[in-house]
Structure 1
Amino acid sequence: MPAAQVLADLTRPRFAQLPPLSLYVHIPWCLKKCPYCDFNSHEKRGDVPEARYVQALVADLESALPQIWGRRFSTIFIGGGTPSLFTPQSIDAILTAVRTRVPVDPDAEITLEANPGTFEAERFRGYRAAGVSRLSIGVQSFDDAKLAALGRVHGSDEARRAIATGLEVFGNVNIDLMYALPGQSIEEALADVKEAIAFDAPHISAYHLTLEPNTYFHSHPPKLPDDDLAADMQEAIEAVLAAGGYEHYETSAFAKPGRRARHNVNYWTFGDYVGIGAGAHGKITFADRVRREARQRQPAAYMDAALAGDALQEGADVSVERLPFEFMLNALRLTGGVPATIYTERTGLPITTVGRELRAAEERGLLEKDPTTIRPTSRGQRFLNELLEMFLPAEPAQARTIALKRAP
């Protein structure tokens, strides 16, 4: 056998077992495109082709089946866009189609994103009857002036009613908040967090508002708190949530004991996921490789392509050189880190492939000195991009910048 082939075989990832598998379903329409949003979302104009889109999702899933034969979904996440624009009947049709084609764990966490602007009590009950077990509500703020500045279609009273009904119907609810908003003070940011805590929801997400490329806010930036004030907000928010009994387990995620978002934890521990829907991304592990995929972004093009049997816009194996960075991009968001053994389990590579980088990060105070765990220090959490950059393979400067911006 040629020496080059021997070397390739030695460096090819090999998986003793496949990671857990999740399903992500993307519904791309919103009532209104928020000026800060860089997700693949499209403002609703006229009637949404709901029935045809559901058919396309089912066809898309069927096309993906050969890649996941014999595997089962441990979690399902229906995101967007605004999935709560779809009727409970459509959500039921999607989940029924999934269950009849792929085994789903009996206790699978099934999350639906909801906008308070589409809130109806009966609609929530319909989603629960369809099998949704967890609701993620995009509140962002309880301050009407801040909601208006963010271009949100709901008011604070709608948000309060949606949370109260969500807790009554589902019990398992995440409240999404944002901070460092236009003109926001620390007191205003903490008022939002304290009100969310008062609901006693199992999970709260607190995201720093950032000006992403290709958004209205990026081209017409509002006046935001400076970096020092935003950092003070972050520290104060983390302290208040900790005092309220919430564990800070991921960069922007806080949960009551035992109530972490299982779907997102699968992402962060480099698990697998099938992504269906316009612009959805997926990651699938095979015996000797990891593949990433992306669906057609435009809803009309996606429906045509999915119904024709090929919704993919792009797909490629992750190179061996890039696998360590891909793993760290996710795992280092977890404040408690991950067991060192999971690196080999999820990349198929020995831990020695990142030995030099781990030691260098420890020396710079970005990683804890713990041979059993890969865990960022408090400094590593604060300067996450600096830490991640240490694991990037040698690439052109432009590619390195793009890679870092992928970190959510």
Structure 2
Amino acid sequence: MSVLPSNGESGFGIYVHWPFCLSKCPYCDFNSHVRQVPVDETRFLSAFKTELAHRARLTPGRVVESIFFGGGTPSLMRPETVAGILDAIAGHWTIDPNTEVTLEANPTSVEATRFRGYRAAGINRVSLGVQAMNDPDLKALGRLHSVDEAMAAVGIAASIFSRFSFDLIYARPGQTPAAWAAELDVAIDRAAEHLSLYQLTIEPDTMFEKLYRAGKLQMPDQDVSRALWDVTQETTEKRGLPAYEISNHARPGAESRHNLVYWRYGEYAGVGPGAHGRVLTPNGRRAHSTERHPEMWLTVVEGEGHGIISDEPLSPEEQADEFLLMGLRLVEGIDPARYETLAGRPLDRSRVSSLVEEGMVEKTATGRIRVTKDGFPVLDAVVADLAA
């Protein structure tokens, strides 16, 4: 399968976290918050600029290949706020001419009207949280939009942006493989180049977890879940949007460049409440995380000059484990030589051979190791085996 050039399986991206939503979805465990009063965007913009200046001091000389506004609901930001953040990034780093600048958006009619403003601000790709293609399931998922609103937003996005994507959640309560196949076909008809397709999982400390534990939420059993997975792979492959990562599907050349920075274990600076980062310093690769609570993050940034509350060195073993965890999500797999460079030791040949014999991984003609179609449904186990 064709994927973007890997630039040495590296790259540098910037993640900007906007933590606010209009409501909290019952399945969501992201760092998102609902506020009953308007957010002080001027103050937040000032704090983002402060954070970006701090990260620039940590990562001099980098060339930015991707910028991603995630959340939360970044499409609740004024276009002027987005423009201010992008101007600050351009003031600190060199921006690659082909930089991908993505903003996540909820497909409500109100937010869709902002798309032209985001395009003028510098956004060149949007990712829409559609999540389902029927109104009853949207309601059950806690979404505030209808299918008609979502498709209208997709149409507007297609008319304004040359690149866009949208998300769907499957393995929903009561969903059958046949119904999902039909829904997926409709979605692919509207998706120009990219779809993110996530199996619904019960995350800790969510409303869905409470309902599930109380017996009020019936999830598909293991056999149905596997059938839904198979339908996903078969349908997207047939329709020209094959998987390039375990949950992401694209026409060749349309892969998400920002996510490839993560999965290829590149560098990324994370700013905003609850953002994470991985950057290379003279003291080695370090893992950053910021204060999660939005108003506390503001206070910390204004007082300390940054919002980082955890700055940990990553040992060679930890880096190698993260490299495996991220890289094996990709259909292209990993270069074992890079693993050896990170870990200071090669992969266990006997474990690799065993997984090859079991049909879970395979070696490519170029020497890469990648997970097979049979291995992807049990990816966590495959990674754990290789990392042991």
TM over 0.5: yes
**Alignment match, 1:21:** 12
The answer as to 2:261 corresponding to 1:266 is: yes
**What is the CA-CA distance between 1:187 and the residue it aligns to?**
2.6
Q: Residue 244 of structure 2: which of 241, 249, 252 is its match?
A: 249
Amino acid at match of 1:174: S
Provide the secondary structure at the position in 2 that maps to 1:116.
Answer: coil
Pair 191,48 (structure 1): closer, same or farther in 2 beyond 3 Å: farther
Cα distance between partner residues in 2 of 1:382 and 1:224 = 17
Q: Is the 8 A contact 1:60 1:311 kept in 2?
A: yes
Q: Structure 2 counterpart of 1:272, which letter? A: E
Quick check: 1:127 aligned with 2:118?
yes
Corresponding residue for residue 361 of structure 1: 355
Deviation at 1:257, TM superposition (A): 1.7
Task: After TM superposition, list the pairs within 5 Å mapping 1:242-391 onto structure 2.
Answer: 242-286=237-281, 289-308=284-303, 309-343=305-339, 348-350=342-344, 352=346, 354-370=348-364, 372-391=367-386
What residue number does 1:162 align with?
A: 153
Report the more deviating stretch, 367-376 or 48-57: 367-376
Equivalent residue number for residue 73 of structure 2:
82
> What is the deviation of 1:288?
5.9
Match of 2:59 in 1: 68
Q: Percent identity?
A: 37
Residue 18 of structure 1 deviates from its aligned partner by 9.7
Q: How many residues align?
A: 375
Q: Does 1:188 align with 2:179?
A: yes
> Displacement, 1:321?
2.2
Superposed CA offset, 1:107-146 (max 9, x none): 1000000001264444100000111010000000110000
**1:26 counterpart SS class:** strand
**CA distance in 2 between partners of 1:353 and 1:340 (Å):** 7
**Shift in CA distance, 349/391, structure 1 to aligned 2, threshold 3 Å:** same
Show structure 1 runs of 5+ residues with no match. 1-16, 394-408
Distance 1:98 1:54, change over 3 A: same
How many angstroms does 1:242 deviate by? 1.2
2:170 corresponds in structure 1 to 179
Specify the alignment match of 1:148 in structure 2: 139
Instruction: Give 3-state SS (helix, strand or coil) of 1:338's partner.
Output: coil
Deviation at 1:37, TM superposition (A): 0.4
Q: Deviations over 1:58-82 (max 9, x none)?
A: 1111112221011121100000000
Q: Is the 8 A contact 1:42 1:81 kept in 2?
A: yes
Structure 2, unmatched stretches of 5+, are 1-7
Q: Which amino acid aligns with 2:360?
A: L
Which deviations, in whole Å up to 9, do the C-alpha atoms of 1:213-247 show, x marking residues without a partner?
Answer: 11111121221211211111111121111111112
What is the identity, as a one-letter code, of the residue corresponding to 1:335? Answer: V
* Structure 1 residues 293 and 285: alpha-carbon distance in aligned structure 2, compared to 1, 3 A threshold: same
For 1:25, what is the secondary structure of its paired residue? Answer: strand
For normalisation by structure 2, the TM-score amounts to 0.92
Do the aligned partners of 2:336 and 2:347 also contact (CA within 8 Å) in 1? no
Structure 2 distance, partners of 1:200, 1:376, is 26
1:226 aligns with 2:221: yes
C-alpha separation in 1, matches of 2:255 and 2:9: 22
In the other structure, the counterpart of 2:3 is: none
Structure 2 Cα separation of the partners of residues 121 and 277 of structure 1: 24
| DSSP 3-state at the match of 2:360 | coil
Deviations 1:272-318 (A, max 9, x none): 10000000000012356211010000000101111221311211011
Task: Name the CA distance, whole Å, in 2 between partners of 1:284 and 1:53.
Answer: 24
For residue 247 of structure 2, what is the amino acid of its counterpart? S
Deviation at 1:354, TM superposition (A): 4.7
Q: Cα distance 1:368–1:351, how it changes in 2: closer, same or farther (>3 A)?
A: farther
CA contact (8 A) 1:31 1:43 kept: yes
Whole-Å separation in 1 of the counterparts to 2:168 and 2:203: 17
Instruction: Give the conservation status (yes or no) of the 8 Å contact 2:288–2:312.
Output: yes
Moved more, 30-39 or 315-324: 315-324
Question: Measured at CA, do residues 220 and 18 of structure 1 come closer, stay the same or move farther in structure 2, by a change above 3 Å?
Answer: closer
Q: Work out the CA distance in 1 between the residues paired with 2:239 and 2:35.
A: 38
Query: Given the two structures, how large is their TM-score scaled by the length of structure 1?
Result: 0.87
The separation in 1 between residues aligned to 2:333 and 2:9, in whole angstroms, is 20
RMSD over aligned Cα atoms: 1.9
Given candidates 17, 21, 26, the residue that maps to 1:35 is 26
The within-5 A match list for 1:207-226 is: 207-221=198-212, 222-226=217-221
Residues 383 and 337 of structure 1: CA distance in aligned 2, closer, same or farther (over 3 Å) = same
Q: Are residues 43 and 379 of structure 1, via their aligned partners in 2, closer, same or farther at CA, if it must alter by over 3 Å? A: same
Distance in 2 (alpha carbons) for counterparts of 1:286 and 1:355: 31
Contact 1:84 1:118 in 2 (8 A): no
Which of 90, 107, 118 is the matching residue for 1:99?
A: 90
